[in-house]
């Protein structure tokens, strides 16, 4: 579609197919005649008319003007809840989470404005490996404990943890890939969420306007990616399950960083018949219960509680924090967004800021020509 009018028409067909054009014209403050001529290319839309249209049609204003998606638009995939009885997937608190996601996107826009100026799109970033085995190799041995740090250092995927969110999300914004986690203290679920959202990013699931059937297909694909990443078939097949006792199961769960329920479902998926009886027994109980009763740290210290505490703690990528610190020091940014990321009052953020030179009234009057 080469003209703005054609793109507006396309958006109307998608968002308001049954509505009369004259009614749309009146809603944005145009006469039906002016609206018709603008759609047909005989009159230009004004910037305010296009802004009103974008709001009315829930459209990408950048796309309507240029024919290309806004390189810094926020594109989101979410970890859906799944009802195994009904097969339904949903994100019940998506609207409530939106404000936090928009604030995270704003933090990236403020910290990296050059990417917006250069028009760097998310699709221009180096692609992630789409094979879970390649991702495991890139993350390195025993990656589950420092999962977030490995994702940032080795794959360039930022990880945000924010208490109060209802579920995990992945964002494609500008040239950045970001996974956003709820801070719940449940590090088994956090690991699966990281792997699941990494699947969305690796499989390039961040597109607008997909059907519900396609969203469901992508959810299933991301979940399969997570299963292959955290519980690879060959590793599970190498275990002599008949000889594993409760202590051995606890050691495996701790090493793999997954819940007993997730392990049971994975074993059911890759083997014919039910999982081993011991796994079935513990799948119906809290994973923490298994660990507290049967797992022993090599150091003799409590390592379970620190993992829980870390999975509840507010977290933002070091790259993003450092970019805000540099922006504040240069005078390009204020302290408010960094304070929000840290969860503190802006007055508590001690950062060197450029001094504001004193300007006399006479000098100011001279500059203003008065």
What pLDDT does 368 receive? 57
Which domain, by its residues, includes 56? Answer: 4-66
The CATH code of the domain that includes 58 is: 1.10.260.40
Same domain? For 92 and 182 the reply is: yes
Q: Looking at the structure, tell me whether residues 243 and 108 fall in a common domain.
A: no
> What confidence score (pLDDT) does residue 79 get?
60
Ramachandran bin of 46, using left for φ above 0, alpha for ψ from -120 to 50, beta for the remaining angles: beta
210 and 186 share one domain: yes
Q: Cα(191)–Cα(168) distance, rounded to whole angstroms?
A: 11
- Between CA 264 and CA 276 the distance in angstroms is 8
- pLDDT of 52: 87
Taking only the tens of pLDDT, the chain with its 370 residues reads: 578 999 999 989 888 888 999 999 999 999 999 999 999 999 998 888 888 898 888 777 778 888 876 665 666 676 655 555 555 545 556 678 888 999 999 999 999 986 543 333 334 457 899 999 999 999 999 999 999 999 999 999 999 999 999 999 999 887 899 999 999 999 999 999 999 999 999 999 887 666 778 888 999 999 999 999 999 999 999 999 999 999 999 999 999 999 999 999 999 998 877 899 999 999 989 999 999 999 999 888 999 999 999 999 999 999 999 999 999 988 899 999 999 999 989 888 877 666 555 556 566 566 555 6
Look at residue 354 in the predicted model and tell me its pLDDT: 61
On whether both 95 and 220 belong to a single domain, the answer is yes
Residues 140, 286, single domain; the answer is: no
How many domains is the chain built from? 4
Whether 59 and 8 map to the same domain: the answer is yes
Q: 200 and 86 in one domain?
A: yes
Same domain, 240 and 140: no
Q: How many angstroms separate the Cα of 35 from the Cα of each of 25, 39, 61, 64?
A: 6, 6, 17, 15
- One domain for residues 26 and 100: no
Query: Domain boundary at 211, 230, 249, which?
Result: 230
Residue 350: its pLDDT value, please?
77
Q: Is 363 helix (H, G, I), strand (E, B) or coil?
A: helix
Please give the helix or strand (H or E) that residue 160 lies within, else none: strand 157-162
- How far apart are alpha carbons 191 and 194 in whole angstroms? 5
CA angle 43, 44, 46 (to 5 degrees): 135
Q: Dig out the tokens for 327 from the structure.
A: 């922006």
Judgement on whether residues 248 and 346 belong to the same structural domain of the protein: no
Burial of 205 (0-12, 13-18, 19+ CB in 10 A): buried
Last residue in a domain, options 230, 261, 289? 230
Same domain, 82 and 216: yes
Among 43, 66, 89, residue at a domain's last position? 66
Phi, psi of 129 (to 5 degrees): -60, 135
The per-residue DSSP string of 171-237 comes to EEETTEEEEEEE--S-HHHHHHHHHHHHHHHHTT---SS--HHHHHHHHHHHHHHHHHHHS-HHHHH
The alpha-carbon radius of gyration of the chain (Å, integer) is: 26
Residues 82 and 215 in one domain: yes
Pairing of strands 176-182, 169-173: antiparallel
Listed in sequence order, the residues at least 6 apart from 269 whose beta carbon sits closer than 8 Å to its beta carbon are 227
């Amino acid at each position: 579609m080469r003209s703005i009018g054609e793109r507006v028409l396309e958006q109307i067909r998608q968002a308001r197919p049954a509505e009369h054009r004259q009614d749309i014209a009146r809603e944005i403050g145009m006469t039906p005649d002016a609206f018709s001529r603008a759609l047909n290319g005989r009159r230009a839309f004004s910037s305010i008319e296009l802004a009103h249209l974008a709001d009315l049609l829930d459209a990408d204003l950048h796309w309507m003007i240029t024919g290309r998606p806004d390189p810094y638009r926020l594109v989101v995939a979410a970890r859906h809840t799944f009802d195994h009885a009904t097969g339904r997937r949903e994100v019940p608190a998506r609207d409530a989470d939106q404000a936090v996601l928009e604030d995270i996107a704003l933090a990236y826009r403020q910290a990296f404005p050059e990417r917006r100026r250069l028009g760097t799109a998310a699709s221009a970033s180096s692609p992630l490996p789409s094979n879970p085995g390649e991702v495991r190799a890139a993350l390195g041995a025993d990656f589950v404990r420092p999962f977030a740090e490995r994702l940032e250092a080795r794959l360039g995927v930022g990880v945000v943890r924010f208490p109060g969110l209802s579920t995990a999300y992945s964002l494609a914004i500008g040239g950045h890939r970001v996974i956003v986690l709820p801070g719940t203290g449940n590090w088994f679920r956090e690991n699966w969420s990281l792997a699941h959202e990494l699947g969305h990013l690796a499989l390039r699931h961040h597109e607008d306007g997909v059907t519900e059937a396609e969203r469901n297909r992508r959810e299933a694909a991301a979940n399969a990616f997570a299963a292959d990443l955290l519980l690879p078939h060959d590793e599970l097949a190498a275990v002599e399950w008949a000889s594993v006792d409760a202590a051995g199961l606890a050691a495996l769960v701790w090493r793999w960083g997954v819940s007993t329920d997730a392990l049971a479902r994975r074993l059911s998926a890759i083997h014919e018949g039910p999982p081993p009886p011991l796994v079935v027994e513990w799948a119906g109980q809290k994973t923490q219960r298994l660990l507290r009763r049967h797992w022993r740290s090599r150091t003799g210290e409590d390592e379970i509680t620190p993992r829980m505490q870390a999975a509840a703690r507010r977290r933002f990528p070091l790259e993003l924090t450092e970019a805000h610190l540099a922006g504040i020091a240069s005078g390009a940014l204020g302290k408010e967004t960094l304070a929000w990321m840290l969860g503190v009052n802006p007055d508590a953020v001690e950062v060197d800021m450029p001094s504001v030179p004193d300007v006399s009234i006479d000098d100011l009057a001279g500059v203003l020509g008065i």
